[in-house]
Structure 1
Amino acid sequence: MKILLVDDHQMFVDGLRGMLLGSSDLQAEVEAVHNGRDALQQMLAVDFDIALIDLRLPIMDGFSLLEELGRRENLTPVIIVSASRDPDDIRRAKSLGAMSFIPKSSSGQRIVQTIEAVLAGQLVYSEETAEEQDLASLSDEQWASLHNLTPRQLEVLRLVRKGLSNLEIADQLHLSLATVKTHLSAIFMALGAKSRSESSKKAHQLGLD
């Protein structure tokens, strides 16, 4: 597993790197950079499994980095690790695609558990606003409508996430192969994805369980 750390405090980076390297659960390779610009370059050049990013960074801050990653359609899961406990920072990070927001004071066990949960496709936010709780409790039909998908397209997307081939999806849903491909094209367009794997990752990032 490749993990990128993005923080400008060397002591914190060293401590976090040591904890991650010492975790038998992760078996991680860890790289670190100290500003948002270098982080963007690394994340565009290297296929990281996950990135742990501070908000207060030189040259390009964490929010700007999240925005740029979104524009570049980079799907690396991001956990914000910050000293901030400002609810507005948490909401903004979440809206920009961060999968979790945890304090720098978190224990090593919590950080590892959060990484494992995010890698499993979960959004991990311990303190949610009422609005965020409402979003988390959307029905399948509401989630599909929110993301411009039909109920049938949502069925296809769920089967894609289970690893079924186009032919298997066609058989299970009693559709023609051409119809499945049409649904997939619509799903890719709605989610801004270019492939089955990207659509699955984006569905995770958008909160589909």
Structure 2
Amino acid sequence: MTRRIVVADDHPMFRDAMRSAIVGAVPDAEILEAGTLSTTAEVLENAPDPDLVLLDLNMPGMHGFAGLVYLCAQFPSVPIAVISANEEPRVIRRAIDAGASGYIPKSASSEDMRAALDALLEGEVWVPAGADTGNAADDGDAEVTARIASLTPQQVRVLMMLSDGLINKQIAYELGVSEGTVKAHVSAILQKLGVISRTQAVILARQLAEEADAPQEMVRRAANER
């Protein structure tokens, strides 16, 4: 049975490395690629029944966990596993709490990559062996993640646009809706996030994006090691 796997990462060299790793583990896989959040969404819209998405949290447009929440909400039947150079336990836990089906370090060995793909394609959750994620996210982390995950896909998009500095009129144009609809989304976002202003919502969203960041040296090293 052919497996359709989407590799979503903005580093072409790492996508090539992932393609080789996938072919070694799943020889009959059909591999699709994307380099931004928007192109990932387009691929998922157009590709019939993807079996798995391997997602970089730091691609253009992602805003870290916000992009993950958006994709999980927009495509709830598609397993999405984060693949990242950031191996901090609290980040792994946040990704799982935000809806990810697994978390694969970019430094993973070929054996671990094969094990991860096998588990994820069988519908299991996979995290690195020995990753102590049980208490990695404190109660505050879990609460914030739950609030973000409670947003609808459209509300997540609005939040990301607010983080980019867009005003209501610009957001309405980008989404093809009225300004009144945008205002309603913003109100719902503030209520769900437990904040009282757009500024506080943006600060929270940017904090989530920063927590998902991996130092660029780690990214380069992981790509070279593949």
Q: 1:64 aligns with which of 63, 66, 82?
A: 66
Give TM-score, length-normalised by structure 2. Answer: 0.53
1:109 is aligned to: 111
CA 1:130/1:105 → structure 2, altered by over 3 Å: closer, same or farther? Answer: closer
Spell out the pairing of 1:110-149 with structure 2 (5 A cutoff): 110-126=112-128, 127-131=131-135
Deviation at 1:33, TM superposition (A): 0.7
Deviation at 1:121, TM superposition (A): 2.0
> Could you say which structure has the larger radius of gyration?
1
Matched, 1:81 2:95: no
Matched, 1:45 2:46: yes
Question: What is the alpha-carbon distance in structure 2 between the residues aligned to residue 104 and residue 74 of structure 1?
Answer: 24
Q: 1:20 aligns with which of 15, 19, 22?
A: 22
Question: What is the alpha-carbon distance in structure 2 between the residues aligned to residue 10 and residue 20 of structure 1?
Answer: 15
2:34 is aligned to: 33
Contact 1:5 1:13 in 2 (8 A): yes
Deviation at 1:131, TM superposition (A): 4.2
1:184 is aligned to: none
Percent of pairs with identical residues? 31
Deviation at 1:20, TM superposition (A): 1.6
1:7 is aligned to: 9
1:200 is aligned to: none
Q: Where does the alignment leave 5 or more consecutive residues of structure 1 unmatched?
A: 133-209
- Superposition RMSD on alpha carbons, in Å? 1.9
Contact 2:41 2:71 in 1 (8 A): yes
SS at match of 2:58: coil
Deviation at 1:27, TM superposition (A): 1.5
The number of aligned residues is 131
Structure number with higher relative contact order (C-alpha < 8 Å, ≥ 6 residues apart)? 2
CA 1:130/1:67 → structure 2, altered by over 3 Å: closer, same or farther? Answer: closer
CA 1:115/1:22 → structure 2, altered by over 3 Å: closer, same or farther? Answer: closer
Give TM-score, length-normalised by structure 1. Answer: 0.57
Deviation at 1:21, TM superposition (A): 2.2
Question: What is the alpha-carbon distance in structure 2 between the residues aligned to residue 73 and residue 38 of structure 1?
Answer: 14
